[in-house]
Amino acid sequence: MDLPDQVHRHNRSFLANAEQGAIQWILPRIPESVTSLHLTLLGLFGSFLGGVALIGCNWSISWLPLVILGIVLNWFGDSFDGSLARYRKAERPRFGFLVDHTCDLFSQIVIIICFGFSPFLSLIGAFIVLLCYLLFSAYTYIRAAVQNIHQMAYIGLGATEFRILMVVWAITGSVMGLHESPVNGASTLDLTIAFLGVLAVVGLAIKAVNDARNIAAEEQEHLKQAHSEAAGMEVSAYERSASR
C-alpha cells in the first residue's frame, strides 16, 4: 500500500511477519512488465470475480473455487502494489494512496455486499460487517491524519486475516449446506454477527478515547514547552536591554 512519506505503517497482525517474508521473496520474481498499477487493478478485478462467484453459489457450489481465487487475487493485488513500487523505487505517494485506497474500499464493499446475496450470509449480516469495516477504515484514516500512523491491524486482525476469514466462512458454509436468505428477518447468525459488531464498535470507541487522551497529553506538553521557551526568550530580551 502506498502512503505519504510522513505516515508510518503500523502492522501487528497475526500473519504480518509471514506475509512480509512471502512478499519479499515474490517481489524480485514479478516480471518487469508488471507495474504497481496493474496489481491494483488485479486486486479490483479479483473482488468482482469473487463477488460474482459468491452470487453464483446460490445455484451451484462449483462456483466456490472462483470465490477463493477472486479473494486471493484481491489479496495479491492489494498486498503487492505498493510493495512493488517501493521495491523498484518508483513510488508516487499521493497518487498511490488515492488509487490504492479507493480501489481497496470498492473491492471490500463489493465482496461484502455480494456475501449478502450469497447462501453464506444474509444482507442484514453483510451490512453489519460492512458497517464495521467502513467504521474501522474511517478511523484508520483519521488516525493517519492526526498521528501520522497508519494502523493496519486491530487486535491482530488486518486485511489479510479478514480475507482469510471470508474464505474460511465460504468453505464452512458450503460444507454445512448453509443457505441464508438475503431478506427474511434476522436469523440467529445475524444476531450473533450483530453482537460481535457491537463488541467491535465498543472496542474501537475505547481505543478512540485512549488515543484522544494521549494526544491531549502530548499537546499539553508541547504547549508547556512553547510557553517555557517564550518566557525564556522574554527574559533574555529583558536582560539584553538592561545591560545596555
Domains, the chain, ordered by start: 8-183 (1.20.120.1760)
Are the beta carbons of 73 and 133 closer than 8 angstroms?
no
Average pLDDT, the chain: 87
CA torsion sign for 81, 82, 83, 85 is positive
Compute CA distances 162 → 75, 135, 158, 168, 169, whole Å.
10, 15, 6, 10, 11
Q: Which three cell numbers stand for residue 50?
A: 469473487
Task: For the chain, list residues with pLDDT below 70.
Answer: 1-11, 183-185, 230-244
Helix (H) / strand (E) containing 7 = none
Compute CA distances 53 → 57, 68, 113, 203, 204, whole Å.
6, 9, 12, 33, 32
Question: 138-141 long-range contacts, Cβ below 8 Å, gap at least 24?
Answer: 139/204, 139/208, 141/101
Q: Write out pLDDT tens, residues 104-162.
A: 999 999 999 999 999 999 999 999 999 999 999 999 888 888 888 777 888 888 889 99
pLDDT at 184: 67
153 backbone dihedrals φ, ψ, rounded to 5°: -155, 150
pTM of the entire structure? Answer: 0.84
